[in-house]
Amino acid sequence: MIRRALVTWGLTWFLLVLYTTVARRLGLFLDVPSLVVTYLALERGVIPGAIMALGVGYLGDIFSGTARGHLASTAVLVFLVVRLGVSKFSGARWVLVSVVGVLTVLLSQALSLLVEGLVGPGRFTLHAEAPALLKLVLANLFLSYPLHRLLRLVDERIFRPEDDLVFRS
C-alpha cells in the first residue's frame, strides 16, 4: 500500500506541476486534488483511500498556498462522502466518473467554504470563487474521465489489483 500511495502522490504532484505551469496560463480551471480523490473513491478501499486522499489534499495545500491542512481535511471528508455515495454503483464507466467528478469538485468547493468559514482566515469566499465556478465545472466534467483512466493505467501497470471492494468496469 505504501508504494501505491507514493506512486499516486507522485503522479498527483506531477499533474499539479503541469496544471500550475501550463493549464493556468491557458485559462483552464481545474481542481486536480478533487479529481484524484474521485479516482480514489472509485478505485480504493476506505482506509487506504482516506490515507491517500489526505496526502493528495496536502499536496493541494502546498500548491494552492492555503493554510496547511485546509485542503487535506477537505479531501478526506470529500473522499468519505463520495465513497459512501458511490458504494451503490458498480462499474467505472465514463458517465459515472464524469458525474461523480463534477459532484466531487462541487462538494470540495462547498466543504472548503465551510471549513474556511469555521476555522480559516476568511480568504476563500463564494464571491471570490463564483466567476470561475462554471469554468471549473466544465473543465472537470471533460477531464475527470481521462484523468481517471490515466491514474488507473499507471496503477494497473505497476501493481496487482487490491482485494478490497473497488468499482472496476
**Mean local confidence (pLDDT), 41-51:** 89
> Which CATH number does the domain housing residue 121 bear?
1.10.1760
Q: Is 134 exposed, middle or buried (0-12, 13-18, 19+ CB in 10 A)?
A: exposed
In a domain, 167, yes or no: no
In a domain, 111, yes or no: yes
In a domain, 67, yes or no: yes
Residue listed under C-alpha cell 500548491: 63
**What pLDDT is attached to residue 102?**
87
For the chain, what is the domain count? Answer: 1
How far apart, in Å, are the Cα atoms of 86 and each of 24, 29, 78? 30, 25, 12
**What pLDDT is attached to residue 125?**
66
Q: Give the tens place of pLDDT for each residue, 56-89.
A: 999 988 888 777 778 888 889 999 988 887 766 6
How far apart, in Å, are the Cα atoms of 133 and each of 30, 139, 165, 168? 10, 10, 33, 30
User: 120: which DSSP letter?
Assistant: S
* Structural domain of 98: 2-158
**Spatial contact of 70 and 116, defined as CB atoms under 8 Å apart:** yes
In a domain, 18, yes or no: yes
In a domain, 62, yes or no: yes
In a domain, 142, yes or no: yes
Confidence of residue 13 (pLDDT cuts 50, 70, 90): very high
